[in-house]
Structure 1
Amino acid sequence: MQLADYSHSFLSVVPAFLALALAVVTRRVLLSLGIGILVGALLLTGGNPADGLVHLKNMAVALVWADGAWSLGKLKILIFLLLLGIFTSLLTFSGSNQAFADWAKRHIKGRRGAKMLTACLVFVTFIDDYFHSLAVGAIARPVTDKFKVSRAKLAYILDSTAAPMCVLMPVSSWGASIIATLAGLLVTYKISDYSPMGAFVAMSLMNYYALFALIMVFVVAWFSFDIGSMAHFERTAQAQTHDDAEVSDGLKGRVYALIVPVLVLIVSTLSAMLHTGAQALETFSILGAFENTDVNTSLVFGGFCGVGAVLLCTVGTIKGSDYPRAVWRGMKSMFGAITILILAWLISAVVSDMKTGEYLSSLVAGNINPGFLPAILFLLACVMAFSTGTSWGTFGIMLPIAAAMAVKTDPALVIPCMSAVMAGAVCGDHCSPISDTTILSSTGAHCNHIDHVTSQLPYALTVAAAATAGYLALGLSHSAWLGFAVTAVVLAALILMLRNKKAAA
């Protein structure tokens, strides 16, 4: 089937920007991506509905069958997401979260300790943002209540550690999906300088919003840096008394039943990554192993090990009849993410076939300094994620566009542009009142949702302003370290300015 060539036509942007516009207007990402894919298939086949459906079928089959052989990489990612949902659900059913909370209440001695405990738990629960927001909320809420930390502050810590950490870590549902998307983009645009894992690591180091959002959380937790409505919520919390007796979200579990499975999941996944990577090396090195690892296989192996550990650790705490219900609830919790990921893969193929990047880059050339691209893409991703409430949908639409534009404009900016999209998607997700992670953070903290949105917004916008400056420096200088330094300096200046303004008030 001969596909139409739109490399020099404005029609090349229609599928991607139709999906973007519909997502902003309707706030229904699945519908918007689906319409964008269908329109793209029709345009590529000259408007013939039958041929369009055939091409759509061919794109779907290509996800698992390529060059006459099965391509199971994407299928393994979907299996890992299902395993992760089951893992999280079993931990919830077992009551392990509440058991850890009871232990922590006996060992934490002050407000700062309660806040730092909550922030530091992300280094254990970074495998998934949903898991982090709900599990850490259940674990930390009784502790922060005891020391009169506001629910708004708890929700902020949950939200601003969940997505930023998940987007930086390859051993997470976010990392897995991003690496899978990167693998396709690197092949599509013949980028051989990076492996998918190498590109992910490089992009993480340039994800200034995620990195400094995490730093901001620890600054807020340690120094009680309260601005905007957060200061009001903290004063109110300290003047009130919470009832320490809180109803458990599950059965009375055991502390080790939370700690051991999470450690097994992380250690087994990392071990598998080192093993699969080492097989491609003549001389073993840790960095070389991670550069050549089979991430998808490693995640599936780690997922099975994690679920197995949960099953062993929860014997006697979950009724036999509850296991099927827990497994189904866990799988069902991942159906939305899986659907978005599949549609993201399909629209990536459409954007490539439509030559959207080639056309857009021709508009940028001579009109916009390529050095401004990272900052522009960061802000655009912020707006889209804010409007749609999803980072994953933003990744799906924006990453292929960013890669295509950078390849045609300045290939050295491919990684910076894609990292800017990742950063903007997380930032917009943080600011959005309709974001799943924002809603789950409010839920995990038992905080009024609007209180969480309004109290987190000043922190998110402060970090976003610093990150914008960093991406300008990165794009103009091609130096990741200069961009990092500029972000750090601007953020420090903004914190000092806000602190002095608060003191003066």
Structure 2
Amino acid sequence: MGMYADSVLSLVVPLCVIALVFITRRVVLSLFVGIFLAGFMLSNSFFGVLEYVLNAIGGVFYSEGEVQSNALYVFGFLILLGILTQLMQCSGGMNAFVHWARERVKTAEGSEFVAFIAGIVIFIDDYFNALTVGQIARPLNDANHSTRERLAYIIDSTSAPICILMPISSWGAYILGIMGGLVENTSSFSVLVQSIWGNYYAWFALLGVFLTILWQINLPVMRHNQGVGVEEFDEIKPHSGGSIWLLILPIIALIFFVGFFIFYSGYQVSQNPNLIEMLANAQTGFSLFWGGVCAIAVSVAIAWNRISLREYALIIKDGFLSMLPANLILILAWAIGPVIKNDLQTGIYLANLSRDFLASGVLSANVIAPLVLFLSASFIAFCTGTSWGTFAIMLPIGASIATINSIDMMLSISAVLAGAVYGDHTSPISDTTILSATGAGCSVQSHFITQLPYATTAAFAALISFGVAGFFESLIVGYLVGFGMMFGAFYGYRRYLSKPLDFQEKESTCIKSKFK
């Protein structure tokens, strides 16, 4: 393994997967073909390829002599979330919430702003954010005739960006762990806090969502890709006369118990009451799963007299089936991640390429370094589907480049963090992309395609801002240019490209993706 670390062939698999997603719009097929292609590149026989594919997929559940409990917990949580959704639907809580909210929030903009604010408030963890905001906002979103693709964009563009802007989050704790010792004579926490102000992409991504909602910007790709790969089912009729507490209490329980287990599991490992230490050692999968169990217990307890035993059987079946496609895609995404990162070493190849380019001294290092680091981190995260893996590869490189060339350390680190978030945010094989689509109730392929131009506009503004900030040695000048570009671009979209959605009125029902 690792024979492609110095070869452009290391890019073949991720680029093939991304191209197939565009061409076929079938994420499962694209991921599966990518794993097979890697097997052909790394094995000498047909049976060797089969063994490689089986090992790659099996490694999601069992690797290096250990059961991968975190993955199993996340899969379990997705199923629990599907069951919880069905419980809230069947009990009448979802319909009651829609009727209650419709009297107070009567426009698509209003329901989308609810999702936007919820996405900012729930900043502890991106998985938790993506799935919980979907549960809160989806019924209201459906009632006010906003598409689920728009909701998925809002969820995805608030989850990762807000998590990286908040040091007290699972992302902040992970980055602190990587940055320990990278910057001399400065604490890792201080470096992380300072990098927040230079993370142009995260701020511009949030601004882009705000402007998209405020001005109801629907680009052609958003109008033409509604409900791709999605079908409705409505086997369980909701009970009439439900209370909004049948929806609100389970969601409050979900937020409370997941938060509790995140800090509890972190304390169990670290034995340290420090918030950062607890977050750094938190077992996210464990916390999501047991938080989900507790939320279902609360939901069953308050709806016990409204749902029959026969209906519970249907609820469990439909909850399981509704999340099966998301689990299948997530299994293959997690299977191909180590293939691209460890076996083909795509990230190492791209990192070395960027380092060699900077060492050539083609342009002023102070201007070009942030640009190259941003683009490299973006491409690595886009191809590998992981921002966290990109952090591990690129943060040491960014810090060493800044030290060797005597350039702004904070700007270099911000460029790496911003690029990794953008690449992960827009990658069709990223777990956050998959979970955002799952939370919103749309297919992965339609979410990936519809959000790409919005996110890429923010990324382009961020790229220019990094160059300007390096040239003028001023973050403020970078922000002035970037904000000007964002307002200009989105105003142009509003005036020349945006049209109202052709939305077909539907009852608020549960939804599942067809995996083709």
Q: TM-score range by the shorter chain?
A: 0.5 to 0.7
> Does residue 495 of structure 1 match 2:494?
no
Q: 1:168 to 1:298 in 2, by over 3 A?
A: farther
Separation in 2 of the partners of 1:501 and 1:155? 20
Residue identity opposite 1:165 in structure 2 = T
Determine which of 100, 108, 114 is the counterpart of 2:97: 100
Count of aligned pairs between the two proteins: 434
SS state of the match for residue 367, structure 1?
Answer: helix
SS state of the match for residue 306, structure 2?
Answer: coil
1:342-390 deviations in whole A, cap 9, x for unaligned? 22222222221223333333433443655323542577599x7xxxxxx
Match of 2:8? 10
SS state of the match for residue 239, structure 2?
Answer: coil
Separation in 1 of the partners of 2:2 and 2:493? 58
Shift of 1:300: 1.2
SS state of the match for residue 385, structure 2?
Answer: helix
Residue identity opposite 2:375 in structure 1 = I
Match of 1:264? 253
Separation in 2 of the partners of 1:290 and 1:251? 40
Residue identity opposite 2:278 in structure 1 = A
User: Which stretch of the first structure deviates more once superposed, 34-43 or 124-133?
Assistant: 124-133
Shift of 1:268: 0.5
Match of 2:38? 40
Q: Is the 8 A contact 2:391 2:417 kept in 1?
A: yes
Q: Is the 8 A contact 2:258 2:287 kept in 1?
A: yes
> Does residue 166 of structure 1 match 2:188?
no
Separation in 1 of the partners of 2:492 and 2:176? 47
Match of 1:91? 88
Q: 1:399 to 1:409 in 2, by over 3 A?
A: same
Match of 2:464? 469
Residue identity opposite 1:136 in structure 2 = A
- Counterparts in 2 of 1:265-280, with a 5 A limit? 265-280=254-269
Q: 1:102 to 1:308 in 2, by over 3 A?
A: same
Q: Is the 8 A contact 2:77 2:289 kept in 1?
A: yes
Q: 1:499 to 1:364 in 2, by over 3 A?
A: closer
Identity %: 23
> Does residue 364 of structure 1 match 2:354?
yes
Separation in 2 of the partners of 1:496 and 1:6? 42
Separation in 2 of the partners of 1:109 and 1:8? 56
Match of 2:512? none
Q: Is the 8 A contact 1:7 1:358 kept in 2?
A: yes
SS state of the match for residue 304, structure 2?
Answer: coil
Residue identity opposite 2:316 in structure 1 = V
Separation in 1 of the partners of 2:287 and 2:435? 27
Match of 2:345? 355
Shift of 1:492: 5.1
Shift of 1:37: 1.6
Separation in 2 of the partners of 1:160 and 1:62? 31
- Counterparts in 2 of 1:360-399, with a 5 A limit? 360-367=350-357, 369-376=368-375, 396=385
Separation in 2 of the partners of 1:103 and 1:36? 47
Q: 1:129 to 1:367 in 2, by over 3 A?
A: same
Q: 1:348 to 1:365 in 2, by over 3 A?
A: same
Match of 1:251? 239
Match of 1:148? none
> Does residue 330 of structure 1 match 2:319?
yes
Shift of 1:214: 3.7
- Counterparts in 2 of 1:403-422, with a 5 A limit? 404=393, 416-417=415-416, 419-422=418-421
Separation in 2 of the partners of 1:128 and 1:327? 24
**Structure 1 length-normalised TM:** 0.66
Residue identity opposite 2:354 in structure 1 = V
Separation in 1 of the partners of 2:202 and 2:275? 25
Which of structures 1 and 2 has the larger relative contact order (alpha carbons within 8 angstroms, sep 6+)? 2
Q: Is the 8 A contact 1:132 1:158 kept in 2?
A: no
Determine which of 472, 478, 483 is the counterpart of 1:486: 478
Separation in 1 of the partners of 2:458 and 2:72? 36
Separation in 2 of the partners of 1:20 and 1:458? 16
Determine which of 318, 332, 339 is the counterpart of 2:328: 339
> Does residue 303 of structure 1 match 2:292?
yes
Match of 1:139? 140
SS state of the match for residue 5, structure 1?
Answer: coil
Separation in 2 of the partners of 1:279 and 1:442? 35
Separation in 2 of the partners of 1:22 and 1:313? 46
SS state of the match for residue 334, structure 1?
Answer: helix
Separation in 2 of the partners of 1:321 and 1:342? 31
Q: Is the 8 A contact 2:102 2:140 kept in 1?
A: no
Separation in 1 of the partners of 2:441 and 2:274? 43
Separation in 2 of the partners of 1:469 and 1:325? 53
Shift of 1:104: 3.1
Q: 1:469 to 1:81 in 2, by over 3 A?
A: farther
Q: 1:73 to 1:115 in 2, by over 3 A?
A: closer
Q: 1:331 to 1:419 in 2, by over 3 A?
A: farther
Q: Is the 8 A contact 1:427 1:464 kept in 2?
A: no
Shift of 1:163: 1.8
Match of 1:314? 303
Q: Is the 8 A contact 1:470 1:486 kept in 2?
A: yes
Q: 1:461 to 1:370 in 2, by over 3 A?
A: closer
Separation in 1 of the partners of 2:215 and 2:256? 35
Q: Is the 8 A contact 1:42 1:52 kept in 2?
A: yes
Q: Is the 8 A contact 1:269 1:298 kept in 2?
A: yes
Q: Is the 8 A contact 2:350 2:380 kept in 1?
A: no
User: Which stretch of the first structure deviates more once superposed, 130-139 or 337-346?
Assistant: 130-139
